[in-house]
Amino acid sequence: MSIDWRARASEVWTVPNLISLSRLPLVAGIVFTLNSPLRYVLFALIILSDGIDGWVARKLDQTTELGALLDPALDKLTALVLVAVLFPRLDLAVPYLALFFARDIFVVSLAPLVPLYDFDTSKVQARLPGKVVTNLQFLAMVAMLVPATAVTEVLLWALGLASAVAITDYVVFVGRELSDREWVHDWRGFAAATGAVFAAFALLVWLLLFDQFRDAIATIL
């Protein structure tokens, strides 16, 4: 089925989509005001735009296919840019970023399933554990904006654990969507997914943050 790109382009000029796109100059503003209190105002406006664009779309009956794609795409772009400019201001090792983006990297890895199995990823994106991860990412960005290194570190560890839970949920969901085997649909499938994901997560954290663990243990002892 061909896509009418002219129709999609015309949707940009709807009020909710313009509100969504306003995040781009706001993010750019934060990049250029990192040492000014103005960054807090700009960040608040980003959150406001993210919160009201969907409401405005429903209120004005201007929901569009472009808007449904634009909002989450801008969310990810905003997080990527802000973390890229805010994280270097913290006294934390770069591998901590793996804790922030673990869920998103996994969701992107599901993309090959779409053409192979005609898989509907929209159900995955709306799941509760994923929403918990998104909220923790928001809180972590607030802590980076301050910047508050200790608080950010705690939130990143919470993000890592929440991401492991979310990825387990995704693995179970995808497995049950793609397989009719009985064990996949009962507690055995859940147990296998939980064990595999948390073992992989523990190994990844150990490999990436070995030096931090060693220093922490040395400090305690």
Rg of the chain, C-alpha, whole Å: 20
The 8 Å CB, 24+ separation contacts for 199-208 are: 201/102, 201/160, 201/163, 201/164, 201/167, 204/98, 205/98, 205/99, 205/160, 208/95, 208/98
**In which band, very low, low, confident or very high, does the pLDDT at 195 lie, cut at 50, 70 and 90?**
very high
Q: Which residue has the higher pLDDT, 57 or 164?
A: 164
Question: For a pLDDT cut of 90, what percent of the chain falls above it?
Answer: 36
pLDDT at 44: 93
Q: Which residue has the higher pLDDT, 200 or 54?
A: 200
pLDDT at 122: 61
Cβ neighbours, 10 Å, residue 5: 8
For residues 16 and 14, what is the distance between their CA atoms, to the nearest angstrom?
A: 6
pLDDT at 9: 60
For residues 125 and 129, what is the distance between their CA atoms, to the nearest angstrom?
A: 10
Average pLDDT in the chain: 84
pLDDT, mean of residues 198-211? 84
* pLDDT at 2 > cutoff 60: no
Sign of the Cα torsion 137, 105, 183, 202 reads negative
Tens-place pLDDT, residues 89-119 = 998 888 899 999 998 888 888 777 666 666 6
pLDDT at 56: 84
* pLDDT at 3 > cutoff 60: no
**In which band, very low, low, confident or very high, does the pLDDT at 125 lie, cut at 50, 70 and 90?**
low
pTM for this predicted structure: 0.82
pLDDT, mean of residues 5-11? 58
**In which band, very low, low, confident or very high, does the pLDDT at 220 lie, cut at 50, 70 and 90?**
low
Structural tokens at position 27? 């993010």
157 half-sphere exposure, CB direction, 13 A CA radius: 10
**In which band, very low, low, confident or very high, does the pLDDT at 1 lie, cut at 50, 70 and 90?**
very low
Tens-place pLDDT, residues 13-69 = 788 888 888 999 999 999 999 889 999 999 999 999 888 888 888 888 877 777 777
Question: For a pLDDT cut of 70, what percent of the chain falls above it?
Answer: 85
